[in-house]
Structure formats: structure tokens, C-alpha cells
Structure 1
Amino acid sequence: MMPPSDPYAGERLKHSHFHERQAAMNLRDAWSSWNGYKFADYYYDESYEYFCIRNTCGTYDICPMQKYMIEGPDALAMLNRMVTRDLRKLGVDRVTYVCWCTDSGRMIDDGTIFRLGEERFMLTCGSPSLAWLRKSSLGFEQLSITEYTEDFAALSLQGPTSFAVLKRMGLEAVGELKPFGIMHLPFNGSSLMISRTGFTGDLGYELWIEPSEALPLWDALYSAGEDYGIHPYGEAATNMARMEAAFIMPDMEFNEALKTINFEYDQTPLELNLGWLVDFKKPHFNGRAALLEQTKRGPKRMLVKLDIEGNKPADGSILYSNKRCSKEIGYVTSGMWSPAVKANIALAMVDTQALKGEIWAEVYYERELRHRHKVARCTLKDKPFWAPARARQTPPGDC
């Protein structure tokens, strides 16, 4: 008798190009999924992995991140119409952070654009965007759009000893790479692309190579990093680091506009405090008229950084204009006790009119199975909670 076919065979998660090495190090077998890939929540302990990012260095698998190559004479014009930032200012072998919107100015997603040549660009983002790219390309005939997600093995190396590890690998030239710069170096008979980019707010790089060289790259990296505390980290530690850097995350700080059901439950770049990404001096781009109008009248709410008294994380807390909690003015999108900053930090969406007054958070927490709550004073912060000088220095220093 023939064995019955597996009804779930088509739904099994794909393995990234580094999965063989990562699976051996995932002692807790703690996996989730990202864009159809098996993806680590954590490998051993999220706090341990967080401290690797902040004190030594760690690797984060970005193979599941969506990657698209846009090429041709019309590539720049098409992308410049789609995103809010002026890409004409982006030089070859440079990277920039961008976002793109609907015609109503509601943010669809954010990501990075790599300019790999005069007419060659790579867009990376967290969610699939091929359909939107194709819609945005209507009327532009001299370009091609190709999904490259599986054609790159991509690994993020982050932390204060990240440059030291690359230097030990024989990649000393990376020391001259400026933030958001790109460099191409030989590796094992192939070409290794290194960008000084990342999602932790610290010194770090992203390594891009053809899939056949993924495991040799991993082995060389971990051999060089053995004395520098290298360790893989998962989504949990990433979330901690990006909060300290005040970086936004989809499904936390913002809802992707094309997936949002309720009216204005999505956000605009201005509401997310990303006005610096919107360049009204360039020609027409998606959402320009709506965003210009919002600039004139001001956004109703704004994403802000808060320092909250006490040490109980305020994640998901409701915010009020007074200690009596009689008037609701916003909510916390992400919150944590920051080990590096030694502060109770949060990102929060707050009514713009309330930003000049007091802000209080109603914090719920648990102590020995008993549920408690308190009202804590909040202080607005202008700068990221974590922004070490080494993240901007060139050369970055050899820890």
C-alpha cells in the first residue's frame, strides 16, 4: 500500500542558507516564521543574546528579508516616484533608509535602497512588496524588477567587536567603510558585498554573498570571532536593541496601510516622526499632496520617545494627561527596561495637542502571580536611547 500523501507538505517553512549552522546552535529549538522561512526567536537566551549585541558581537539571519533588484534607465525615476525621499541624492555604493505610501499618505512599508550602479538598485524590506513595485512601475518601460530574496545569502553582524572580527578575517579594508556605505571584497573565490548597515543602533555590518558561499562565510566568521564573543541572536534580542535605538517596527509602531482594515488605524510618516524622510522639493511622489496637507495642519498624533519612572515595562500601556487617568491621550507601542541605558524606555503614539502637558502611563505588571498596576510619570526624550559614538566613527576602532 502506498503511504498517504502529506497534506501539509506545501506549507513547510523554508530553511535559510545558514540554517544548518543555526539549527545546531539553537539549543532551545525556539523557532517562528518570517516570510515563509523558519526563523529563530532566540537560540539560548534572549538576554544573553542582547548582551552579545551590546558588549561583543552577534549574527542575525536576514535571508528572509525581501530583496528586489530594480534595473534599467527608468529605475531611478520609478523608485523616486514611489518613495518619499529624493533618491537623486543617493550615490553609487551607498544605502539609504526610505518609506513609501498610498496616495492618501498612509505608510505601506519602510526599508532600505542600495544603489549598486547608475541604473541598478536593490530594495530590501520586511514584507513582500513585488505587487506594489509592479504597480508603481506602470508607465516606466525601460526597467526590470526581479525578486532576489533567495538569490542572496545575507547575514547581519552587529556589536562593538564586529569590525575586529572582520579584520581578523582579512577584511581590513572595511575599516574605511562609512555608515551606509557599500564595499565589495573577494571571499573564497566569490565576491562579498559588505554594507555598514543594521537594525541595532550600534556598530555593525550586513554581509551579502551568493548562496553557495553561505556556510563557508559562516564558518570563517565564527572562526575569526571565537575570541570576540560572537553568537547568533534572534528576533527577541533584535527587538530589544532596536527599541533602544528608537527604530520603528511594523505591527508594533505602525500598521502596513495595505493590510489595515479600520480607517486611520494605519499611520503616515509624519505621525511616525519620519518627516525627515519626506522631501517636498522633489517632483511628485505617492502621497505627496496628502502629506503636504498634513504638514500644513499638523498630524493629530505623533510617535515619541518616553522615559517612564520606575522599572516596570509599560508595553501596551494607555497614556493619560493626569495622574487620575481621567483623560486618555495615547498608548505605548513598545516598552522595556533597558539594561544598557538603565532606564524604563518606551515608544508611544501621543495626541499632538497633549505633548506640551504632562504624560502618565498606567502600567500593569505581575508580582508572584498577583496582578498589580501603578501610574507612572513619563518624560519626553528627543534623542535615541542608545547611540554610541562607535556607530558613526570611521574607522570604528578595534575593540
Structure 2
Amino acid sequence: MAQQDDLGFGTQIRKSPYFDATVRWGAKAFSVYNHMYLPRDFGDPERNFWNLVNEAILCDVAVERQVEITGPDAAMFVQMLTPRDLSKMAVGQCKYVLITNADGGILNDPILLRLAEDHFWLSLADSDILLWAQGVAVHAGLDVAIHEPDVSPLQLQGPKSGEVMKALFGDGIMDLRYYWLRELELDGIPLIVSRTGWSSELGYELYLRDGSRGDELWETIMAAGEPFGLKPGHTSSIRRIEGGMLSYHADADIQTNPFELGLGRLVDLDMEADFIGKAALRRIKEEGVSRQQVGLVIEGPPLKGPNTIFWTIEKHGGAIGKVTSAVYSPRLERNIALAMVAAEFSQIGTEVEVLADSGPARATIVERPFHDPKKKLAAA
């Protein structure tokens, strides 16, 4: 029987420009995301959570690969990929978008960045949208170029992240608004900096545009952040579930449509522009959905970690859905979860049974997000 230390993936799983730095700073384990190593363990995940919500953490998220779309028809092409209306998106703005297929299924939920009139990045969740976009372009009849650039983001997240950014870039960085970006240099290192992140806390993403300088960038940020309690860390499952943030392949996939997730605001069926999945999403909206994402509070002792399989949800002895992401929140002192259930059982207050790893447990459907529903922390 092979031991975990014996398992390796060879050169087909890429290392980020920050890989060696994260190992030096205590990364103990990695998962694979977008064909790359992703640091997932810097020790105690609860300590990582408290570091995030009380001070700040720096996370290697180079796995958020970029799809770069340029050319005279770039704006028209990007609109083809998403049901969100982009007609008023300004240069320097970011938007959370969904990429849908012809059936209205979600292929990815990236952040879209507009660097220039004819220059966009899709900052990806875990799926091969580079291949999808290049395939769509083959018969689109549009003048675009699509490739993966040398870009590797870091996330600097937490209430002290603004202080760290001021130490790095000066007071002027405080003018950067939520979901906007700026082109900057740090000691000659070329960056795009945005007020975004996967934490539901105040935060920034620093998109390195020269992979050879990853180690230097990591060490520069950690040194600037030391007076503010900055720690190396990883994206927090606890905090993102508290914030109701989706994890692709867990809470959404190709079989999931935006209306099931309560994301109808990201679908504009009335705009003139056509997009892939428009007819299907119009039909789904008219017919209504048969299932709905909900929040759950699960009774019982604290979960020992996030679920690694989908737990069945039952009502009256029959299956009505599944838990997609579950974790114990030390701040809320309860087990919380995102789940997908049959629409007729999605009302707040409905009591159900979850077939968890440790056995059956009672649970109640509740509002989501579980904490800071108006995102005052992230948008401050």
C-alpha cells in the first residue's frame, strides 16, 4: 500500500511561482486545482480562519488561471460567454460572472477583469475554460485572440489587508474601489491589483505578470505585513461557507443553472446581445426550477472538517437533495452547510435529516449567507 508521501504527479501538475515560498513558510499539503498544486494546509484550519478574520493572510491562488481575450471583437466575444449584461462594464472594472453552456449549465464562475477596451481576463474557478473559449471562437466569426498569459494571482485578505497594501503601495491604494483594478509596479515587479477575493473579507488580489519574480513578490509582501500580523495561509472553507460563496464542482457544476443558485441577477434575458444558453435559460425561468440551493444548520458535535462526499438529505424517509459543502464555524459555534434540495422543501425553517459521515443528524434550512449577508466587510 503506497504511503501518501510516495504519491506524486510529475510535471503534468504545474507548480506556481510561489510554490517554493509557500513550502518555506509552512505549507504542509497541497490539492490539485486547474492542473496545478494548491496549498491547502498551513497547520490548523481554525487558526487560519481566525488569522483571516482578525488580521490578514496571504494565499497562493495562482491556480486561478487567466484566459486572456484580446482583439477588436473582444467585448462582443466575452458577452457571448456570459448571461450577465456587460454593456456598461468600464475599463478598470471587475465583475463576477457565470459561463454557461447551451443548456444553461454553469461551466465556471470566474471574475472578469477589463484591462482595456479590447483586453479582458477571465480569472477562473476549476475548469478548462481556455479550451471552451477557444472552441467557441472557431466558428464565432469574430476577430479575437485567446490564450493563457503569464499571470499568477496572490490573495491578500483580511481586515488588516488594507494596511499591508498601504505599506506596499502608499496611501493612494485606498482609493481602489470594490471590484475595480489598477495596473501597478512593486520594486519593478509588474502587477494588476484588484479589490477582489474569495474570502468575504476586505481583500485584494495581486496578479503577477512575470512568473520569474514570484518568490521575490511573496517575500516582499510578507515582510511588509509582519507589523500587521500577516500570516501565510490558504483559502478558508469556513469563511467562504459562512459567506455563501460557491466552490465550483461542489456547489455548482455543469448540471446546475443560475436560477437554482438564486443567481438570477447575473442573467439578463432582455438584453439585445445573444449569449450561449440564452434560449435554455429563458425556458428554465419560465418553467421554474425543480431544486434550490439553501443554507443548513446541522445539529450535533462540531464537524471534524469539511465534507469530502455529498451527504444525502432526507425528509419523511426519502431523499430530497444533498449537502454540497459543510463545515463547523467556530465563530457561529454551529455546523453550517450549503445544500441543494427539491424546491418544495426549500422553505426556511424546514427540518430535514442529513446522512453525514458520523451518522444521521437533524438539520434546519436557514437563510444564507450565514454571516455579513450584505458583504459590508468586503465592500468597506
TM over 0.5: yes
Mapped partners of 2:154, 2:312: distance in 1? 37
| 1:164-217 deviation digits (Å, cap 9, x = unpaired) | 111122432221111101122331124332100000111000001222332222
Residues 262-303 of structure 1 show CA distances to partners (whole Å, capped at 9, x for unaligned) of xxxx21111122211111122221111111111111100011
Q: State the match for 2:16 in structure 1.
A: 16
Q: Secondary structure of the equivalent of 1:88?
A: coil
Q: What is residue 141 of structure 1 aligned with on the other side?
A: 142
Q: Which residue identity is paired with 2:237?
A: N
In 1, Cα distance between the equivalents of 2:72 and 2:376? 39
- Tell me if the contact between 2:189 and 2:217 (Cα under 8 Å) persists in the aligned partners: no
Q: How does 1:1-399 map to 2 (within 5 A)?
A: 11=11, 13-26=13-26, 29-126=28-125, 127-137=127-137, 138-148=139-149, 151-209=150-208, 210-234=210-234, 237-255=235-253, 257=254, 266-282=255-271, 283-313=273-303, 315=307, 316-321=310-315, 325-356=316-347, 358-364=350-356, 366=358, 372-374=359-361, 376-387=362-373, 389-393=376-380
Contact 1:320 1:359 in 2 (8 A): no
- 1:202-259 superposed Cα distances (whole Å, 9 cap, x missing partner): 100000122233222212211111122212223xx5322211111111221123x2xx
Residues 350 and 182 of structure 1, relative CA distance in 2, 3 Å threshold: same
- Shift in Å, 1:319: 2.5
TM-score (norm 2): 0.88
**Secondary structure of the corresponding residue to residue 94 of structure 2:** strand
Judge conservation of contact 1:245–1:385 (CA < 8 Å) in 2.
Answer: yes
Distance change (3 Å), C-alpha of 1:230 and 1:303: same
CA shift, 1:62, in A, is: 1.6
User: Which amino acid in the other structure matches residue 312 of structure 2?
Assistant: I
> 1:346 aligns to what SS in structure 2?
strand
Distance 1:182 1:51 in 2: 27
Partners of 1:179 and 1:223 in 2: CA distance: 25
The alpha carbon displacement at 1:83 in A equals: 0.8
Q: 1:267 to 1:170 in 2, by over 3 A?
A: closer
Q: Distance in 2 between matches of 1:134 and 1:187?
A: 33
SS at match of 2:123: strand
The question of whether the paired residues in 1 share the 8 Å contact of 2:42 and 2:233 is answered with yes
Instruction: Provide the C-alpha distance between the structure 1 equivalents of 2:251 and 2:187, rounded to a whole number of angstroms.
Output: 41
Contact 1:312–1:365 under 8 Å retained in 2: no
**CA contact 1:78–1:140 (8 Å) conserved in 2:** no
Deviates more, 1:188-197 or 1:302-311: 302-311
Distance change in 2, residues 1:163/1:9 (3 Å): closer
Q: In the aligned structure 2, how far is the partner of 1:289 from the partner of 1:13?
A: 38
Q: CA distance change for structure 1 residues 9 and 291 in 2, over 3 Å: closer, same or farther?
A: closer
Residues 1:243 and 1:189: Cα distance change in structure 2 (over 3 Å): same
CA distance in 2, matches of 1:300, 1:248: 20
Structure 1 segments unaligned to the other structure (5+ residues): 1-7, 258-265, 367-371, 394-399
Query: 2:98·2:107 contact (CA, 8 Å) conserved in 1?
Result: yes
Quick one: which amino acid aligns to residue 320 of structure 1? Answer: E
Query: Is this contact kept in 2: 1:66–1:128, CA < 8 A?
Result: no
| Distance (whole Å) between structure 2 residues aligned to residue 153 and residue 379 of structure 1 | 38
Code of the aligned partner of 2:181: I
Q: State the shift of 1:342 in Å.
A: 2.8
- Contact kept, 8 Å, 2:326 with 2:335, in 1: the verdict is yes
Q: Distance in 2 between matches of 1:19 and 1:239?
A: 21
Shift of the 317–34 alpha-carbon distance from structure 1 to 2, 3 Å rule, reads closer
The amino acid that maps onto 1:109 is N
RMSD over equivalenced CA pairs, Å: 2.2
Please say which of residues 278-287 and 294-303 is displaced more in the overlay.
278-287
Give the stretch that moved more between structures: 349-358 or 282-291.
Answer: 349-358
Partner of 1:263: none
* Alpha-carbon shift at residue 56 of structure 1 (Å): 1.0
**Structure 1: distance between partners of 2:169 and 2:236:** 27
Structure 1's 340 and 10: CA in aligned 2 closer, same or farther, altered over 3 A? closer
Between 1:38-47 and 1:174-183, the stretch displaced more is 38-47
Distance 2:227 2:320 in 1: 49
SS at match of 1:225: helix
Matching residue's letter, 1:284:
D
Which whole-Å deviations, capped at 9, do the CAs of 1:296-352 have from their partners, x for residues lacking one? Answer: 11100011122334444495443334xxx4233222111112122333211110111
Q: What is the DSSP-based 3-state SS (H/G/I as helix, E as strand, rest coil) of the residue aligned with 2:107?
A: strand
The one-letter code sitting in structure 1 at the alignment partner of 2:201 is D
Moved more, 151-160 or 350-359: 350-359
| Matched letter for residue 381 of structure 1 | E
Distance in 2, matches of 1:153 and 1:252, equals 24
More displaced, 296-305 or 311-320? Answer: 311-320
**TM-score if structure 1 supplies the norm length?**
0.84
Give the superposition deviation at 1:25: 1.7
Deviations 1:349-370 (A, max 9, x none): 011122247231235464xxxx
CA gap of 1:192–1:363, structure 2 versus 1, over 3 A, is same
Larger Rg, first or second structure (1 or 2) = 1
Asked if the contact 1:273/1:304 (under 8 Å) is kept, the reply is no
Letter of the 1:275 counterpart: G
Q: Is the 8 A contact 1:319 1:331 kept in 2?
A: yes
Count of residues in Structure 1 that have an aligned counterpart in Structure 2? 363
